[in-house]
Structure 1
Amino acid sequence: MTNAGSKQRRPINIQSLSLHYIKYNSIAPEAFQSLAQNLVSLAIFDSTDKPTLTGPKLDMLYKALKPLKNLKTLDLIIPEELEFDASYFENFPKLEALFLMLPNLLHLKNSKGFRSLTNLKGLTFANKLPYLPKSLVSLPHLEKLHFYSSSLSTFQNDTLSSFGPKLSGLDLSSNHIDKIPVGTFQKILKLEYLALSDNHLESPLCSPLHSSIDISGERNEDITIERDVHGKAETKNNNLTHLDLSDNEFKDGSLTKETFASCTSLTELFLDDNDLASLPGDMC
C-alpha cells in the first residue's frame, strides 16, 4: 500500500536508446537493467579520439548488455584497438540488424558466435580483418552484408559461394581485393546489389560473374543455364541490377561486352575513377 500523497513510479518503457560520445568502458554493469523488457534498439558510439595500442577489455560493456535479450537492432562504434569476442552475440537471439564499426579490430575471437544470430537480416562490419569469417555464411536469413574498410584481399574455400539463399546485397568496398576467383558469386542466386568499389581489381570480371557449374539436378528460376560454343555449362545471374566497380585499376581493353554478359538484369553500372580513357563500342 502506498501513501495517498506519494506518486507511484511508472515502469520505464524506452524502446530505442542512442548514446553518442560516451566511453563504452565507463558503462556500469547494471546500466540497462531497468530497460531490459522493452528496449529493442541500442546504439553506442564511443567518444575516444585516439586509438590506444592496447584497447581496454569489453567486460563491463558485455555485462551491461547481457540483460537486453529483446534487442532487434544493435550499433557499436568503438575506435580503439581491441580484441572482440563474437560469442557474446549468443545473448541476442532476436537481433535482426547489427552495425559493428570496429576500425581497429585486428583479432576476432570465437567467430562461430555469429551463428547464433539466426534472425539477422542485415550486417555491417567494418574492421581490419584480412579474412571474411566463415561463420557468416551459415546465417539463414541474412539479406544484406556490408564488409568494408577491412584488409580483405582474397577469398578462401568458396566462402562467398556458400552464403544463404536470401542474400541480395553484398558490399565489399574499400578492401584490398585484386582478384576474384572463378565461381565466387555463382551460388548467391538472389544477389541484386554488388559493390566492389575502392579495391585493386584490374582483370576482367567475366569469369566470376559468368561461371562454369555442375548442372546436375539444378533447378532455380534465379539463374539461366546455357552452354557456350564449346558445350560448357554456364550460368547467368537474372537478379543483379546494381554493380559498382568504381575506384579500381581497370585499364583500356580490360572490359568488354562479354564481361557483363551474364548480368541480364543489370541496370546500374559504376566505373568511375578507373584508368579508362574510353569504352569499347560493343560493351553495352
Structure 2
Amino acid sequence: MTQKLIAIDLDGTTLNAQSLITPKTKAVLQETVKAGHIVSIATGRPFRMSEQFYKELGLTSPMVNFNGALVHLPHRNWSFESETLFSRDIVFDILAQKDELQLDYVAAENRDTFFVDRIDFDDAYLFSNQKPTEANLLKNLKSNPTSMLVQTTNEMADTVAKRLTAQYSDYVDVRTWGGPKAILEIVAKGIEKARGVKIIADALHIDRQNIMAFGDEHNDVEMLEYAGWGVAMANGSVGAKAAANDQTDKPNTEDGLADYLETRLLKKVAEKSA
C-alpha cells in the first residue's frame, strides 16, 4: 500500500451543517489512519477553534491553521514549524474603517493571543471555547498578528473583500471562511493552504502525487490544485470544483468526505488485499 497524505478542510467539508464531525466521518477518518495513511487538518480556523476536532479524531499529525499562516505539530516541538506574521498597522487601519465597511467586529490573533475590538455580543462560533484576551485592539495589540478576522453581512462580504484587497494586496491576502457566518480572514501575502500542505508533505517525505486533498471553498482552490488528487465537495463552490480532479457524490451534510474515502480509498485497498 502506498501511504497517502489526506489533507482535510473543516467547514463545509469534514464538518456537517452543525459544525460537528458525525460518528460516520469520525469512524472513516480513524479507519483511514489505521490503514496507514496520514490525515492532516488544513483549515482557515485558528488552532483554538480546531483543536477540539484534532483531539476528537485522535490525530498525531501536523496541521495547517489560518489558511497556511501557521503549520505546526500541536503541543509538540517540530523543526518544520512555520508561522507567518503581517504588520499590526494594517489591523489598526482596517479598524478605523469599521463603520464604513459595516463590520460587526475586528479581531487579530496568533497562536497565543486573541484580541477583538468588542465583546459586548455573544458569538459562540467566533469565540468557541476561548474568550478573547482583551477587547481593546488599539491598546493591547502590541505585536504583529498571524491572522485577522472581520465579520460583515452576507450581502456585504464580497464588497468588503474587494475593498480590502484593493487597499492591501501588496501585503496581505483576504479569504472567506466556509462556515455559516460572513467572516473574512486576512493573512500575509502569499499564504495559502497549499503552502502548508507542502511543508507537511516534505517533512513526512510524501510525494505530491500521493497527496489527496478535500475542500469546498475558494480558500481550498490552491490546495486542490496542488494535491496529486484534489476532491471538491458536492456542496463546493464553482471554483473549488474547477480546481479539483473529482468531487464527492454527497455533500458535507451527508458525510460526503467519509463516503468518498470509504468507497474510493479504503474499499479499493481492501479489494487489492483480498
Q: TM-score scaled by structure 1?
A: 0.25
Higher relative CO (CA 8 A, sep ≥ 6), structure 1 or 2? Answer: 2
Higher helix share: 2
Please identify the structure whose Cα radius of gyration is greater: 1
